[in-house]
Structure 1
Amino acid sequence: MIDNITKVSSLSSTRGLESLVESGSSTQGTATSVENPGMNFASVLGSMATDSVNSLKHAEAKSFEGIQGKADTREVVDAVLQAQQSLNTAIAFRDKIVNAYLEITKMSI
């Protein structure tokens, strides 16, 4: 069911936020414009979207295992709640990005 969303992973060229956190901590509050070519806004959002899709796929698989009697109820509930939290986070990011875009379009030039 979730396989139709796999094209979102094409936005991401790297995985994780480790290099972003490390580069941010090394500047120690100075405003430098050192840009990591592997990490940009699109790749971070793509990585988050990919993680959300993977969480949804995992929850779906656990649900099917629960229906078949192969998985414990607690495992199914944990997977579904994790997927729900991931989806709510993705929706919140989408809403913030859309609101920011709308604010930019309202600005006079």
Structure 2
Amino acid sequence: MAINPADAIKAFNQAARLGGEGMEARDAPKSTFLEMLGKVADEAIDSGKQAETMTAKAVVGQAELMDVVAAVSNAEMTLQTVVAVRDRVMNAYQEIMRMPI
């Protein structure tokens, strides 16, 4: 069965008109992957800064030991998560590079 290119273009244009209304808002990404990574990196940095602040407060006697331990544990968990995500991204990149062209 032969397909006429003119008929295919006509059908495509009809489908585009039917589905074209309101697609801009639906297809527009709310944030880019780069923005998301930047936000996560900022949160990780803030977690480390909070741990440093709590440690400094404990040294001068302004913070409880439990608060310091909680802040440092949170920073450590955040760092482990960042490292795990980095490792997965690197593994995915290496797998893509191994794919035959």
Larger radius of gyration: 2
TM-score norm. by structure 2 comes to: 0.71
Output the CA distance in 2 between the equivalents of 1:72 and 1:55.
18
- Corresponding residue for 1:51? 43
Listed as ranges, the matches of 1:7-46 within 5 Å are: 34-36=27-29, 38-46=30-38
Output the CA distance in 1 between the equivalents of 2:91 and 2:28.
26
Output the CA distance in 2 between the equivalents of 1:57 and 1:97.
25
RMSD: 1.2
- Corresponding residue for 1:60? 52
Give the counterpart of 1:95 among 62, 87, 91: 87
Give the C-alpha shift of residue 35 in structure 1.
Answer: 3.0
Output the CA distance in 2 between the equivalents of 1:93 and 1:42.
14
Output the CA distance in 1 between the equivalents of 2:34 and 2:85.
13
- Corresponding residue for 2:3? none
Size of the aligned set, in residue pairs, is: 76
SS in 2 for 1:59: helix
- Gap regions ≥5 residues in structure 1: 1-32
Instruction: Name the structure, 1 or 2, with higher relative contact order (CA <8 Å, separation 6+).
Output: 1
TM-score norm. by structure 1 comes to: 0.66
Structure 2 residue identity aligned to 1:87: L
Hey, which of these two has a bigger chunk of helix by percent? 2
Output the CA distance in 1 between the equivalents of 2:66 and 2:95.
43
